[in-house]
């Protein structure tokens, strides 16, 4: 029994983001911590949230091409592990931010775009890129996010 208690404490600490009182699987903790830092830097104060769960989706929970979903009734974000494993760090960040935008910030989708030069992007049109992390496809692709990260974060945290 004495050996079991430290093991249980270790396992439970791996899935909880420190200081948040949330149940967040360890894969997502760096992105949640960055969300808190970006919120503070952009707004000047933290975005409060407690009791949130972020986890990989159960088999069959997310269907079609849904890579993540905010489940308002349980205040849970479910992430499709098969998509997550294929994403780069920027795609992971924008996916987690997108779902946190729904669950924590109360944001809805926007398809607004901005013009860019000489490229065809996943927005469905030439020479444009989504202007919000809250676009319906959730991912903001490189190099657009990195080049415009300050603007994306300002729009994200300051738009109701």
The rounded percent of the chain whose pLDDT value lies above 70 is 75
* Residue 4 placed within a domain: no
* Residue 5 placed within a domain: no
Report the sign of the C-alpha dihedral through residues 81, 85, 91, 96, in that order.
positive
Q: How far is CA 146 from CA 55, 103, 142, 150, in A?
A: 26, 24, 6, 8
* Residue 73 placed within a domain: yes
* Residue 24 placed within a domain: yes
In the predicted structure, residue 77 carries a pLDDT above the cut 70? yes
Q: How many CA atoms lie within 13 A of 41 on its CB side?
A: 12
Integer Cα distance of 113 and 123 in angstroms: 8
* Residue 136 placed within a domain: yes
Integer Cα distance of 156 and 132 in angstroms: 7
* Residue 1 placed within a domain: no
pLDDT for the residue 145: 79
Q: How many domains does the chain have?
A: 1
Integer Cα distance of 51 and 30 in angstroms: 17
**Domain carrying residue 50:** 10-158
pLDDT for the residue 117: 61
pTM > 0.85: no
CATH number of residue 98's parent domain:
3.40.390
* Residue 153 placed within a domain: yes
* Residue 152 placed within a domain: yes
On average, the pLDDT of the chain sits at 79
Residue 47 pLDDT level (bands cut at 50, 70, 90): confident
In the predicted structure, residue 83 carries a pLDDT above the cut 50? yes
């Amino acid at each position: 029994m004495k050996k079991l208690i430290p093991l249980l404490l270790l396992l439970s600490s791996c899935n909880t983001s420190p200081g948040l009182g949330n149940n967040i699987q360890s894969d997502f903790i760096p992105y949640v911590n960055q969300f808190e830092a970006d919120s503070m830097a952009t707004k000047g104060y933290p975005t409060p949230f407690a009791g949130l769960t972020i986890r990989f989706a159960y088999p069959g929970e997310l269907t079609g091409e849904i890579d993540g979903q905010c489940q308002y009734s349980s205040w849970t974000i479910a992430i499709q592990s098969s998509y997550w494993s294929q994403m780069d760090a920027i795609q992971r960040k924008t996916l987690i931010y997108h779902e946190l935008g729904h669950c924590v910030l109360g944001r809805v989708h926007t398809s607004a775009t901005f013009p860019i030069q000489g490229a065809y992007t996943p927005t469905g049109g030439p020479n444009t890129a989504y202007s919000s992390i809250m676009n319906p496809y959730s991912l903001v692709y490189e190099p657009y996010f990195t080049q415009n990260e300050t603007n994306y974060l300002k729009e994200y945290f300051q738009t109701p």
